[in-house]
């Protein structure tokens, strides 16, 4: 597997020259079984809550866990590229790189880490509000052969993870997750949606 950080990589879909998240979509015939040799593109967004060093450590840990999750499912990436924070996404560049490394799919993953107020335990008898660190994830899956988008999940569509593990029966018993738990939860949520359970 080849890895090379990219200083600036433009990865856009139809609306993405501005770096806008993808619109939610899933091709009616999409199946994770289509994916055999993916190329991964990972971008960790800018965050005022993280120093450059913290962002680098987080990016390396997150990327490593993502690669491991694909390996465990028998889909070792043919290539992994980390996109520089602040860079826009352009699908043409991702597809061009994926073709270079003979990948069959380009999978573009975005992670944004930020603190914000959130309502936890929505739909339960005891929802509560708390300031929490939220890991918002988005993903796009593009078929390399023809550049067709096969799956796109924007932030806020079931891939977000909070550092508070809520106890909906007794909110005072809620606990904070550590970084390793956050990474594990985030990667599990993402790979389950992209590759199936």
Return the domain boundaries, the chain: 2-112+134-160+179-195
> Model confidence over 77-87: pLDDT tens digits?
999 999 877 66
The CATH number of domain 2-112+134-160+179-195 is 3.40.50: yes
Tell me what pLDDT residue 90 has: 79
**Range 74-98 burial, b when 16+ CB lie within 10 A, else e:** ebebbbbbbbebebbbbbebbbebb
* 31, pLDDT greater than 90: yes
Question: Comparing 105-109, 123-127, 174-178, which segment has the lowest mean pLDDT?
Answer: 123-127
Tell me what pLDDT residue 137 has: 95
pTM beyond cutoff 0.95: no
Which residue did the predictor score with more confidence, 14 or 107? Answer: 107
- At residue 88 the predicted structure's pLDDT band, cuts being 50, 70 and 90, is low
* 42, pLDDT greater than 80: yes
């Amino acid at each position: 597997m080849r890895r090379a950080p990219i200083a600036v990589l433009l990865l856009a879909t139809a609306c993405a020259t501005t770096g806008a998240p993808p619109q939610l979509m899933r091709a009616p015939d999409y199946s994770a079984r289509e994916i055999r040799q993916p190329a991964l593109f990972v971008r960790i967004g800018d965050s005022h809550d993280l120093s450059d060093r913290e962002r680098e450590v987080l990016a390396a840990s997150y990327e490593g866990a993502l690669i491991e999750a694909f390996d465990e499912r028998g889909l070792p990436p043919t290539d992994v590229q980390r996109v520089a924070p602040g860079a826009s996404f352009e699908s043409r560049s991702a597809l061009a790189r994926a073709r270079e490394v003979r990948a069959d799919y380009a999978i573009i993953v975005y992670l944004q880490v930020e603190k914000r107020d959130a309502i936890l335990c929505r739909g339960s008898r005891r929802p509560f509000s708390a300031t929490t660190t939220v890991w918002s994830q988005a993903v796009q899956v593009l078929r390399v052969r023809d550049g067709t988008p096969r799956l796109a999940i924007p932030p806020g569509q079931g891939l977000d993870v909070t550092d508070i593990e809520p106890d909906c029966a007794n909110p005072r018993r809620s606990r904070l997750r550590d970084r390793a738990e956050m990474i594990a939860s985030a990667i599990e949520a993402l790979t389950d949606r992209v590759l199936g359970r």
